Structure 1
Amino acid sequence: MIPIIDTHLHLIYPDRFAYPWLSGAPAINRPWSIEDYLAEARPLGIEAALHMEVDVDEGDIEAESRFVLELDGIAGAIAGCRPEKPDFESQLEGLAAVPRVRGLRRVLHQAPDALSQTPHFAANIRRLAAHDLTFDLCVRHNQLPIGQTLVDSCPDVTFVLDHCGAQDITVGGFSPWREHITEIARRPNLNAKISGIIAYAGKEWTLEAIRPYVEHVIDSFGWDRIVWGSDHPVVTLGGSLTDWVGATREIIKDASPDEQAKLLNANAKRIYRL
């Protein structure tokens, strides 16, 4: 069994940090600990995880990363950030100084499109290159063109597109998502994360329903520019971690062992410097 590095694990500790958005997500509005995750993850072949920021209150951003990096099984962290703020440079310096913070993310899929399109925002993202930090691009499927604009404006920054561009699979149909993915994948500084699929597919998803979305992202980006993420616990909106790992292994079973290893662990080690 080829081992997995999970590049998109959310841990939720309401006793420590404030998560303003969770009140609107009752299905996952509870504690999600590393112990519970590892109990399911390790038998599935997940050997380590990269913690993905959980859009905590701005005052908790650095503390969140410092806390999770002390937990068993966490190989690194993607920290939250606010590139739209005047004091971002100071925030960046603080986060870059935290050992094993490997990248940053600003949740954009619930933000106004204009937030990421200002010269100030792009200039601040360009600062990440000097610190060898990645930027996870979290946009909805209909925001892929504005995500592309941001990627184009920061050619020296390594980006990772979260959740295959967050297509709502329950709606059906591939356009214009398919075309947007094909186009945005032409950016050599952009990678893609095979994650979030079953959360966007509903409880009644089938392997054959989700397969074309996964395969199109792999075909568009190639085996050298893809990583795998669980999106746990958001994945539970459509199934379980076990379901998603099983579906992934089934979809890629005809790929070569080298190709499978690139998706499941090798690319993550390189892109996130794990």
Structure 2
Amino acid sequence: MSIFDEPKIDCHNHLFDPAQFPYLANTIYRPAGQEIGTLNQFNRVLDAYGVQHALLVQPTSGYRGDNRLLLSALASSEGRYKGVVVVDHDISLEALAAYQKKGVVGVAFNPATEGLTVMAGAEALLPKLAELGLFAQIQTVGDQLVQLLELIDQSDVRLLIDHCGRPDIEHGLYQPGFQALLRLAERGRATVKISGMQKFAPMDSVFEDTLAYVQALLDAFGPEACVWGSDWPFLRAQQRVDYGPLLKLAEQFMPDAHVRRQVMWETPRRLFGFR
């Protein structure tokens, strides 16, 4: 059995549909052309590759706190999709609970794109997420995570770390940000996404350049605290990226079928409540 026949859940992807859901006027980036990915297009991609479920992530680009497209997709998916939204830090517990009832499992923070200032004031939000059992999904780059550890330790919120922590491959495994990510495994409340390797390594050498990082994360967190994601529709990609080769890349990173089943099926089903 190959990875195309195995059950799979894609835990990092975005929807962009400016024709039906116009972008915010002040968005930091306006996805266009091949970057646009509608719900219908995404459904067809998952069907073609035998992917049963997906975790939709509200993008900073285009929509940020306008979650209408994501919520519409959740409402029509009959449980196929769960979501991660973007909200203001002063959102009420009741409003978060209402999101949760619609299939939302977490809130996204993106210092990698918006800078560390986007976390200012989050100390009021993280305990609310913890109370509801929602995830704080955080995307950092380089050594940003080091500067967020004090904030993270102020609550017992569950953490979901994007894209292997987006290390700088020129600085090796022992760069402070990546080592801080590995130490989060000891806290027992963090999950890491084996995703987005194409964001910090060239596609032509992505396996060779990122294997050591992926293996270190699998060793530290274990398959029961790792999930996989494609990052479809590959916003701001510097080189061509296709869904099928990314699945084969996951198979290379995880040649053991039992590990793949845990990371790509059992763990996300348990963490995010897919039926």
Q: TM-score, normalised by structure 2?
A: 0.84
Question: Shift of the alpha carbon at 1:87?
Answer: 4.7
* 1:69 alignment partner in structure 2: 74
What code does the residue aligned with 1:68 have?
Answer: A
| 2:111 aligned counterpart, secondary structure | coil
What code does the residue aligned with 1:32 have?
Answer: G
Identity of aligned residues (%): 20
Question: Shift of the alpha carbon at 1:243?
Answer: 1.6
Distance (whole Å) between structure 2 residues aligned to residue 262 and residue 103 of structure 1: 21
* 1:216 alignment partner in structure 2: 216
1:48 maps onto 2:50 in alignment: no
Question: Shift of the alpha carbon at 1:22?
Answer: 2.4
Q: TM-score, normalised by structure 1?
A: 0.84
Question: Shift of the alpha carbon at 1:168?
Answer: 3.6
Once superposed, what is the RMSD of the aligned Cα atoms? 2.5
Which whole-Å deviations, capped at 9, do the CAs of 1:154-191 have from their partners, x for residues lacking one? 21x2111011101244x463330442332232221111
Question: Shift of the alpha carbon at 1:41?
Answer: 3.1
Question: Shift of the alpha carbon at 1:251?
Answer: 1.6
Distance (whole Å) between structure 2 residues aligned to residue 80 and residue 74 of structure 1: 20
CA spacing shift, 1:112–1:263, aligned 2, 3 Å: same
Which whole-Å deviations, capped at 9, do the CAs of 1:178-224 have from their partners, x for residues lacking one? 42332232221111111111232124324222211211111111121
* 1:13 alignment partner in structure 2: 17
1:35 maps onto 2:40 in alignment: yes
* 2:149 alignment partner in structure 1: 148
What code does the residue aligned with 2:254 have?
Answer: I
1:92 maps onto 2:82 in alignment: no
Structure 1 residues 96-107: aligned runs within 5 Å? 96-97=100-101, 99-107=102-110
CA spacing shift, 1:114–1:212, aligned 2, 3 Å: same
Structure 1 residues 227-266: aligned runs within 5 Å? 227-234=227-234, 236-238=237-239, 239-253=241-255, 255=256, 257-266=257-266
1:165 maps onto 2:162 in alignment: no
* 1:271 alignment partner in structure 2: 271
Contact 1:82 1:88 survives alignment (8 Å): no
What code does the residue aligned with 1:17 have?
Answer: P
Contact 1:168 1:200 survives alignment (8 Å): yes
Structure 1: gaps spanning 5 or more residues: none
Distance (whole Å) between structure 2 residues aligned to residue 10 and residue 41 of structure 1: 13
Question: Shift of the alpha carbon at 1:18?
Answer: 1.4
CA spacing shift, 1:69–1:17, aligned 2, 3 Å: farther
Contact 2:13 2:230 survives alignment (8 Å): yes
Question: Shift of the alpha carbon at 1:225?
Answer: 0.6
